[in-house]
Structure 1
Amino acid sequence: MTRNICSIATLCLPTLLWSATAGAASLGVQNAEPAPSASTSLAPPSDPNALRICASKNQPPLSMADETGLENKIAVVVAETMKRKPQFVWTDRPAIYVVRDLLDKKLCDVVIGLDTGDPRVASSKPYYRAGYVFVTRADRGLDIKSWNDARLKSLGHLAVAFGSPGEVLMKDMGLYENNMNYLYSLVNFRSARNQYTQIDPSRMVQEVATGSADIAVAFAPDVARYVKSSTTALRVESIADDAAKSNGEKVPQQFDQSVGVRRDDTALLAQIDAALTTAKPKIDAILEAEGVPLLSLAH
């Protein structure tokens, strides 16, 4: 959920045609975090028959107030598998803040969709693996699958999420400066310096569909829904996990996803792990219906 660059997770996939640090999956810019807002939901009373789920109202397509987000659906399946009632605890803030503002304050108990091993939490065993993708118009005939493809340097506008591995690589390759004004135009030139600023994933897909961008670089779960519903045929290529900066530093492109709980909540973590095993077929079905290509788990 916090494609919490992994805000995110981004949000990590074989060649398909679809009709918040550099090592994090999710989208996010965390230069300065605002103080907790009064718009954060009050915690529901403790109920052993409920699973309190930390969630953002405004992180489409992963988490939304109407509970139709990808991670909202997965959370419901996990809760029901545990024989508990899913109980969302909402914040108006982006998902990058739910750990600090909700989970750490014990206003809720689980966060869906964190990178496995996120140091802020105890993470469950991974329940799926996803990666970054290149999105282009199908009629362009582009089959770019790696950051090592020389054709990237000959393209025009590249739409890429701020704070993502793609932005890191564009800067290292000398491609960012020529795209900077374009990228900031997608957020109405709002500065990322002192506030969370991110390009809407649906906007990134639209830019490609209309031809305003030659290619978009995005975490597959962040854009799968919009690519699938596009009236313009789009091509999606999983990005090979072979990207590195010019100094040889690896820039990961694929990430396992987990459920996060507070680091001392070992009993709940064990229950979550058991539920994920039982619920795997239902979770896979949700991901496939969304159009998210799945990778083999690394762990």
Structure 2
Amino acid sequence: MRRIDTWSRGRWRTIVAGAFGLIASIAVADLPERESREHLRVCADANNLPFTNRQGEGFENRIAEMIAAELDVPLRYVHAPQVMGFIRNTLDARLCDLVMGVAAGYEFVQNTLPYYRSVYSLVVPKGSDLEATHLEAATLEGKQIGVIFETPPTVPLRRAGAHLQSYALQTDTRVRTPARDAVEDVAKGVTDGAVIWGPLAGYYAARQNPPLAVVPLVDDTSQARLIYAITMGVRHGEPQWRDWLNDFIRRRQADIDALLVDYHVPLLDEHGRLMSPAATSGEARRD
């Protein structure tokens, strides 16, 4: 009788312990992957303003700080130049858990919802007769226009008869900043204008003396892809982490928009329409 009672008690303990273990494992499985992390690890370029730098001065630095604050964990960076192999050598190598500033549809990461949309823009001196919102403008013919090598505006600018001044696409940002060089050449009169990615155009144009005009190319019909939706990238196989970030983006979209306006980023809504700064203070856009 004692042996049966002992077995029964022991068996009951095993069953109860197993049940609690099953419940605990289900609870852990239901938590986002981020719950087990002690800090937020972000892969970023250490010299890539207005996006990121080692001093944390870029707008992607600021957004990462917002995420870490909501997670209530310290923010850690893995710095590497954003050149070929960046994702493979950082995120895929599990050195970090998040990459900011990834174009929607980039297959090497799992994309979140877009947290902003922008467009290639024309940078010219204020009052210039080149202030056109498309790349078919007759005023471009014969003008010296700066462009980053092999970016989407290159072909339509050639068709428009512009003389192109090319700047490197792939470069070590510790040594060169081609977009800044292109904008500074406009300010110096070396070129008549430059067509570069909107966030770069807005940021560097505002830092010239006097500031340059930035004209978003929202009316372009050249078939070049000039508008991009920008997401955050996480590893494939981490859907709960992605879903948490999607919720963060939805809840904090107005704050993100206001921050981007501070950095002079030309913002578009989901329909490709230019957003006014006033629109970012409320229901700016939702997916």
Regarding TM over 0.5, the answer is yes
Measure how far apart 1:142 and its partner are. Answer: 3.0
Q: Distance in 1 between matches of 2:71 and 2:125?
A: 42
Deviant stretches of 4+, over 6 Å = none
Tell me if 1:167 matches 2:154: yes
TM-score, normalisation: structure 2: 0.74
Q: Distance in 2 between matches of 1:171 and 1:88?
A: 40
Measure how far apart 1:47 and its partner are. Answer: 6.6
Tell me if 1:231 matches 2:204: no
Superposed CA RMSD: 2.3
Equivalent residue number for residue 197 of structure 2: 219
Percent of pairs with identical residues? 26
| Contact 2:68–2:75 (Cα < 8 Å) also in 1 | yes
Superimposed CA distance per residue, residues 237-289 of structure 1 (whole angstroms, 9 cap, x where no aligned partner): 11035333xxxxx2111111100001111111011111112222221121011
- Name stretches of at least 5 consecutive residues in structure 1 with no aligned partner: 1-45, 245-249
Q: Distance in 1 between matches of 2:64 and 2:104?
A: 16
TM-score, normalisation: structure 1: 0.72
**Among candidates 256, 259, 262, match of residue 286 of structure 1:** 259
Q: 1:274 to 1:103 in 2, by over 3 A?
A: same
Rg larger in 1 or in 2? 2
Equivalent position amino acid for 2:195 in 1: V
SS in 2 for 1:84: coil
Equivalent residue number for residue 242 of structure 1: 220
Equivalent position amino acid for 2:264 in 1: G
Measure how far apart 1:172 and its partner are. Answer: 4.9
Matches within 5 A, 1:100-179: 100-155=88-143, 157-173=144-160, 175=162, 178-179=163-164
Tell me if 1:67 matches 2:40: no
Equivalent residue number for residue 67 of structure 2: 78
Equivalent position amino acid for 1:158 in 2: I
Tell me if 1:89 matches 2:78: yes
| Contact 2:133–2:219 (Cα < 8 Å) also in 1 | no
Measure how far apart 1:60 and its partner are. Answer: 2.5
| Contact 2:51–2:58 (Cα < 8 Å) also in 1 | yes
Superimposed CA distance per residue, residues 90-132 of structure 1 (whole angstroms, 9 cap, x where no aligned partner): 12x2355431210011111111011112111110011111111
| Contact 2:91–2:235 (Cα < 8 Å) also in 1 | yes
Equivalent position amino acid for 2:40 in 1: L
Higher helix share: 2
SS in 1 for 2:120: strand
Give the total of aligned pairs.
235
Q: Distance in 1 between matches of 2:247 and 2:74?
A: 17
**Among candidates 173, 180, 187, match of residue 209 of structure 1:** 187
Which has the higher mean CA deviation after the structures are superposed, 164-173 or 100-109?
164-173
